[in-house]
Structure 1
Amino acid sequence: MGRNGSEYHTNQVFAGAVRRHIVIGLLLLSCPLMAAEQLIDRLAAEVNGHAITVSEVQSKVEKGPLVEVSPWPAQENDPPAKVAIHDLINKKLIMQKADELDIEVTDEALNEEIKSFLTRRNLTREQLMEALGQQGMTYDQYRDDFRTQMIINQFQGREIMPQVKITDRDVQSFYLRNSGTMAENIRLTLRQLQIAVPSGAVDAVKTGKKQLVEKVYQEIEGGMPFEKAVKIYSDNESARENGGLMPQVFLKDLAPLFQNAIRELDEGRYTRPIETPMGYSIFYVSKREFSGSDEYLKMKPQLENQLRQEEMNKLLSKWLETQRRRSDIKLKDNV
């Protein structure tokens, strides 16, 4: 069954608040001095008929956390109020979807999770209550927030996590991109097609060679196997015999000109013609291996978690984009 708590139906809360303010307004007729002190909450946004109030936005900005789910489509440098309201909208969409999926957290499960959380943090209930008091939060509010986070986690585990596919190759590439050690850790098996330009060649010969290498490249693009192209067109006799196969080499050991051309290529891909003082070369990546390192092995679990979280954030943004198109969302201009 879906949840019916006021936490997830803020339109009911807002309607109740309006009724209370009507009663207060009638009382104020006999106390005009109090009228100036009354502040009636305003509507900041509606999400499929469910209200988000200005006070919710203000509380998020003042007390935090500013982002619980995702600020999308707000940007990191946008005003805090804009970030807060979009996070509230996104949170509302997730809670509504969780309701559709009958995701709920029982009091028993909530109590167990809070107990487990305190144990992991080596905290007592008394220490928790003291910390909540310092933040101006009651234990009931803390439980409500904790329950909401558990529901969001269950939603992500059901709807987002199954789409996250992280391979060892992904983790390796992530490590290389962020460590700046790609050249030291990538071992390559390459094939090379060479078209030589003789030293001191006249312009007509240089032009002919350039046209030839472009013709060869187009034939490879058109589907000619690289080895066949080497055997037909390469000016290197030994390369013609073995299809241009080179001994294994680390990326760092190649000339900078070749490194830059090959660095991002996957297996089965090839470079454009590279001009050198001796002519032209086209390289084909037969095999690309990650040699690894002690540092990588130590960091791998952390890297995998970080990459998984980044992928989850991307997929969540895509889900929110789709959900927003399907939803009736109204933002008030005066907020």
Structure 2
Amino acid sequence: MRRHLVKRSRFSVKWFILSVTLLFFLVPRVGAGRVVDGIFLTVNGEGITFSEFREFVAGRLGISVGDADSYLRKIDSEEKLRPLLDDFINVTLVRVKLKELGESVSDEEVERVIDGIVRENNITREQFRKALEREGLTYEGYRERLREDMEKSRLVRALRGKEVLVTDDEVREYYVSNRDRFLVGYEATFDLLSVNLSQARDRVGPAALREVLARLEDAARKGEHVSSLAEMLKERGIQPEVSSMGPVAEGDLRGELKEAVGELRPGETSSSIVLGENLVFISLREKKGGRPLPFDEVKEKIREELVGKRSLAAVREIIKDLREKALIRVNL
């Protein structure tokens, strides 16, 4: 007899693991070990199939659906599953809420945004796909992450639109307090970590690589030096290169590297930067000289940054509220 576990807000991952295990062993299989699909999770009345979760995992890890199926079969602990499951529930809650509001993001809208990205970069769809592959992403995974970003943005506009607006006075105040983030003509000394994505992917596989890169991003946000990030990679059998650079004149820096160094303060570490086949992190040691750009040249960039920060905070608050009120059912 089918049992039901009903619980407000978070539900036990152990129950989820049990439900997946039962699906693997009790449901008849088809072909090469594939699970016959069925509803295993209901969020606010919205039925979620196992294949939907499997496709979500494939996109998150940048692997095929078949590899995601194998990956899920090998999960042996709550710790490994929880981040994926939490993300999946959050995405589902946002999607269900947008559906209630009549504000769902359509496939056509997502494709139009991708068309715009392709045009702006003057490349073909095929070149775009290959560029994603070099970064360890699948086109399908990228498209779903883009959809999620669009959904979060739309939800914020619908529920907290006025709260994320930024006044001219707030923009100017930020500029005055952070002039050192808008310098030109400076010299910078920094440490740079570089890892070849293709070699790393061949070494540990796409799923493990995505997992370790997520850990690196988290460590960088916390301000850990690139030497610590390098040790994390070495623990997984990936050999990065770490080098000291500088002093380097601001005018000799290019593209995203220049932007990242310009925004850093001494002791801070950048988020990841893709340079060709390599993924790069920077820890700034020193920045000398330079002058701040005029306010009028950076005010819109500042406004965009502040709106982005407020929108991110609003999304977190909305999702927290949705989770507290959610009715989640796991079908065993």
Aligning the two structures, in what range does the TM-score lie when normalised by the shorter sequence? Answer: 0.3 to 0.5
- TM-score, normalised to structure 2, is 0.42
- TM-score, normalised to structure 1, is 0.42
Query: Which has the greater radius of gyration?
Result: 1
